[in-house]
Structure 1
Amino acid sequence: MSLLTLTDVHSYYGHIHALKGISMTVEPGEIVSLIGSNGAGKSTTLRTISGMMHPSRGQISFDGREISRMEPHTIVLAGLGHVPEGRGIFPKLTVRENLEMGAFTVKDPTLVRERMDYGCELFPRLRERLGQHGGTLSGGEQQMLAIARSLMMNPRLLMLDEPSMGLAPVLVELIFDIVKLLNDKGVTILLVEQNALMALSIAHRGYVLQNGEIVLSDTAANLRRNESVQKAYLGIN
């Protein structure tokens, strides 16, 4: 059984038909990448899955459970984490407080501490800044915090929306190394990433979105070799 399944999902922003019948799956243990141009519907797909907006029709199931009409906090409790585009940290809270907010339903303080330590092991820079306000961190540090905060709920599926946006190349490589490490440790990943070449270099499979529709799906290796994908998204002529 697929961990995540979308079946004929339609979503709207007012009268704008943003998703036009999206059907896709994510299998346990995979990294699946969504690629496409700006406005193609990638972020909307993640927002619809995480409950930030509800589909007008279609079905979304996670681990065999219908989640199409669930509220975001319930979906998080089910084991689905979402790191949104722009990171979405709490700028006036400290790094420690941001991480604690990520574990808002975890009652065991020992477990909270263990998960915080794990996040700081992945991103040692966060440990150095536990008392610093989130809004004073660099862009790369904020992205580290956003990922570490999402891990505080120990998600089975982690959705990442443009994790490399605005980061220096050395930090992009670090973030992608961490994504691969998390996957190696058993976290399933759904990745939206403008840097399609980097995304497809670590993904198992991928979907190409255009104007709210999936126009191509294949293994990541085949998508990297696809001439139309190379020209449109990989900068290869």
Structure 2
Amino acid sequence: MALLKIDQVHTYYGGIHALKGISVEVNQGEVVTLIGSNGAGKSTTLKAICGQVHTKQGSIIYDGKNITNIPPHITASYGIAHVPEGRRIFPKMTVKENLEMGAFGIKDKKLIEEGFERAFHYFPRLKERINQKGGTMSGGEQQMLAIARGLMSRPKILMLDEPSMGLAPILVEQIFSIVKELNQEGMTILLVEQNANQALQVAHRGYVIQTGEIILQDEASKLLTNTQVKEAYLS
């Protein structure tokens, strides 16, 4: 059974029909990627899942529960972590304070400490900068902090929106290596990414979205060799 099932979802921004009946499934333990050009509807899909964008038609089922149009603070408590495009860390807060914000719904101090240990295992550089304000760090470090903050909530599914955006190639490799490691340890991941080549190399399955519609879906390895995908996204 799918951990997350988006079924015929339609969303609008005013009079603009952003998502036109998309359907996506993410099974437990998978990395599923959603690829497409700018403005295709990738970020809107993640926002619809966590309740930031209103779903006009269709349904979103997560872990057996209908979460369609459930507010973000509730979806977060269900185990859905959304790492948004552009990082959106708290620039005037320290690394430690940003991570604590990620664990706002957790009351058990032991679990919070375990969250810090986990964050520093994946991102040792954050431990070195624990008292540094987030806004003074490099783009790569801020991306690490954004992902680590998402992990602090102990999610069942991690939704990453353009984690490689604006990063140097060596940092892109590092971020995708961590995505792979997280998944190998059991984390379910829904990955939105313009870097289709990198995304498809770490994913099990992929969906191609174009102007709010899913135009193609397949195993990631098959999409990597698909002529249509290669011409549009891998050239």
Fold match by TM threshold 0.5: yes
Structure 1 CA distance for aligned equivalents of residues 225 and 82 of structure 2:
29
* SS, match of residue 89 in structure 1: coil
User: Could you tell me the percent identity over the aligned residues?
Assistant: 62
Residue aligning to 1:169: 169
For structure 2, list consecutive stretches of 5 or more residues without a partner in the other structure. none
Residue aligning to 1:202: 202
For structure 1, list consecutive stretches of 5 or more residues without a partner in the other structure. none
Residue aligning to 2:5: 5
Provide Cα deviations, 1:85-120, integer angstroms capped at 9, x if missing partner.
001100011000000000001111121111112101
Shift of 1:69: 1.9
Moved more, 105-114 or 30-39: 105-114
Give the structure-2-normalised TM-score.
0.99
Structure 1 CA distance for aligned equivalents of residues 120 and 111 of structure 2:
14
Structure 2 CA distance for aligned equivalents of residues 225 and 22 of structure 1:
23
> Is residue 191 from structure 1 mapped to residue 191 from structure 2 by the alignment?
yes
Contact 2:48-2:69 within 8 A present in 1 as well: no
Moved more, 106-115 or 141-150: 106-115
Residue aligning to 1:33: 33
Q: How many aligned residue pairs are there? A: 235
* SS, match of residue 180 in structure 1: helix
Structure 2 CA distance for aligned equivalents of residues 7 and 114 of structure 1:
35
Residue aligning to 1:142: 142
Residue aligning to 1:224: 224
Contact 2:122-2:178 within 8 A present in 1 as well: yes
- Runs of 4+ aligned structure 1 residues displaced above 3 Å come to none
Give the structure-1-normalised TM-score.
0.98
Structure 1 CA distance for aligned equivalents of residues 101 and 50 of structure 2:
18
Structure 1 CA distance for aligned equivalents of residues 101 and 49 of structure 2:
21
Shift of 1:227: 0.4
Structure 1 CA distance for aligned equivalents of residues 180 and 114 of structure 2:
21
> Is residue 90 from structure 1 mapped to residue 90 from structure 2 by the alignment?
yes
Structure 1 CA distance for aligned equivalents of residues 186 and 41 of structure 2:
27
Shift of 1:54: 1.6
Aligned partner letter, 1:194 = Q
